Amino acid sequence: MNRYLLISTVILLFSCTKKEGNIVLEGQKNQNPFNLISCDTLTFTARTVDEDSLPGNGLRYSLLGNINDEILGKSTASLYANISLIEPNTNFPNTETADSAVLFIPSVDGLNFYGNLTTPQTLVIDKLNDTILSSNTYYQTDKFTIDKNYTTSYSGKLINYYTDSMKYRKTKLAPYNGLRIKLSKQMADHLMSLPKEAYQTNILLSKHFKGLAISPEDKNFAPGDGGFAVYDVNNIISLSYRAKILLYYQDTNTFTFGFSGSSSSVTNGKTGPYNQNISDQISKKANNYQYTYCQALSGVKTKIEMPNLLNLVKNGNIAVNYAEIELFISNYSEDFFAPPRMNLFQPSNSNSIRNYFIQDALSTTSYGGVYDPIRKSYKFIISRYLQNIFNKKYFENTNISNGLYLAIPSDQPVIGARCVIDHSKTKIKILYTKPN
């Protein structure tokens, strides 16, 4: 009788089917088998929502650039970083005249750009007035104060491929790709004339010079132009490669400032405004859309809800043998490629944009999320996530079925990407059993 009720309910609500073969408990052989039931037509809804505030420091790499995406519109990434001493000097000749100062930031190898690399961009480099405390967490929406008295303006590509070395005292530093920017005379003179104590320790330096603010100028790019470069401001593997400011004086002398590490470097993101379709989704004009969106830099993410999910345990609990969700992308190109990896979270509560990893991400070696270029999709295992929902409902009569969030990672990899999900192809599959 129980089996009849269960199967009838499943067929009516979800068009589920028995799978060939049975799961039999050890020691029971063919007695009292569990019927393996497959469900692949679970009802779901999807829409685009605002992303939560994501960490801007402590990331492996940093983003910088300005883009006009044909779908998601304008967005920018700026960099704020504290500066430190690489070679402290107790008797720096701060009364000398600076010859020049050059900023170098290396781009990462491999996946280092999103968008149109050929678009020239304008960067503005200013003095940072705020100390970025390494013990604090900063977010990609945080703002900092700057001093505009030492501004440098750079126009060109965000990643340049260098073959010529950089001058360093009486030697040369090996060339690496990225950005080399000659800082303004005002900035060079300022770095040269700090109080003597500033060149002795990092604590004393921070009293007089906190760091740099590097921001892209808001250009009216045509749709599809602009992009984000990925830089390594944290690596100290060698003086040649690391991000730094080379301060030249007395013809052959060089004083070097470095960047203070990932915890003292913050990527700031600015996204929107969005087109009417995306704005309608965010304001919840409707609950379900065929196309939803995900965007880096604390932009937007996709919320997926399964309103009828708990009907599966209406007549008793079930054991989830395996469950997955597969999401397919749309509207991608060579420049606006699919993110290499996506994250799947669960909301803190039904109305929150805050989220945390589903249990499968914490309990399994690989719960998925890596882009499949053949299927053009992302697949995630959600077995433990669903079992936890069913257990809570059955044993405690508590509904924690708050849906899922699909989002672009803020780290590993760091990439200023976006993606479009076509939910006409989204698949949710559940294999479960229930004792006779």
Question: Which residues are CB-contacts of 310 (< 8 A; sequence separation ≥ 6)?
Answer: 389, 390, 393, 399, 401
> If you count DSSP H runs as helices and E runs as strands, how many of each does the chain have, helices first?
6, 26
CB 422 within 8 Å of CB 329: yes
CB 81 within 8 Å of CB 67: no
Same-domain status, 160 and 291? no
Cα–chain center distance at 281: 21
Of all residues in the chain, the percent with pLDDT exceeding 90 is 86
- Write the pLDDT tens digit of every residue in 208-234: 999 999 999 988 999 999 999 999 999
Q: Which residue would you say has higher pLDDT here, 24 or 94?
A: 94
* pLDDT at residue 436 in the model: 60
Average pLDDT, the chain: 91
* pLDDT at residue 11 in the model: 33
Least confident of 50-54, 140-144, 286-290, 347-351: 347-351
| 334 vs 120: CA distance, rounded Å | 18
Same-domain status, 314 and 429? yes
Residue 135 inside a domain? The answer is yes
Residue 233 inside a domain? The answer is yes
- Residue 429: which pLDDT band, with cuts at 50, 70 and 90? very high
Token readout for 105 is 């930031």
* pLDDT at residue 363 in the model: 80
* pLDDT at residue 34 in the model: 61
Average pLDDT over residues 186-214: 98
Q: How many domains does the chain have?
A: 2
Select from 237, 271, 305 the last residue of a domain. Answer: 271
Same-domain status, 292 and 336? yes
Select from 244, 271, 298 the last residue of a domain. Answer: 271
Residue range(s) defining the domain that contains residue 41: 2-51+275-434
Residue 57 inside a domain? The answer is no
Same-domain status, 164 and 199? yes
CB 352 within 8 Å of CB 49: no
Average pLDDT over residues 325-332: 97
Same-domain status, 158 and 41? no
Residue 415 inside a domain? The answer is yes
Same-domain status, 93 and 203? yes
Same-domain status, 346 and 221? no
| 190 vs 201: CA distance, rounded Å | 17
Residue 411 inside a domain? The answer is yes
Q: Residue 359: enclosing H or E segment and its boundaries?
A: helix 359-363
Least confident of 83-87, 341-345, 362-366, 399-403: 362-366
Average pLDDT over residues 371-384: 97
Q: Using the predicted structure, report yes or no on whether residue 279 has a pLDDT greater than 60.
A: yes
Same-domain status, 207 and 279? no
* pLDDT at residue 1 in the model: 39
Same-domain status, 238 and 264? yes
| 324 vs 332: CA distance, rounded Å | 24
Q: Using the predicted structure, report yes or no on whether residue 6 has a pLDDT greater than 50.
A: no
CB 42 within 8 Å of CB 15: no
Residue 368 inside a domain? The answer is yes
- Asked if the bond preceding 175 is cis, omega within 30° of 0, the reply is no
- Write the pLDDT tens digit of every residue in 56-68: 999 999 999 999 9
* pLDDT at residue 435 in the model: 65
Q: Which residue would you say has higher pLDDT here, 20 or 257?
A: 257
Residue 29 inside a domain? The answer is yes
CB 219 within 8 Å of CB 155: no
- Write the pLDDT tens digit of every residue in 68-78: 999 999 999 99
Q: Residue 391: enclosing H or E segment and its boundaries?
A: helix 383-396
Q: Which residue would you say has higher pLDDT here, 24 or 344?
A: 344
Average pLDDT over residues 266-282: 96
Same-domain status, 251 and 131? yes
CA-angle at 143, arms to 142 and 144, nearest 5°? 130
Residue 56 inside a domain? The answer is no
- Residue 106: which pLDDT band, with cuts at 50, 70 and 90? very high
* pLDDT at residue 77 in the model: 98
Same-domain status, 161 and 216? yes
Same-domain status, 89 and 236? yes
Select from 271, 296, 315 the last residue of a domain. Answer: 271
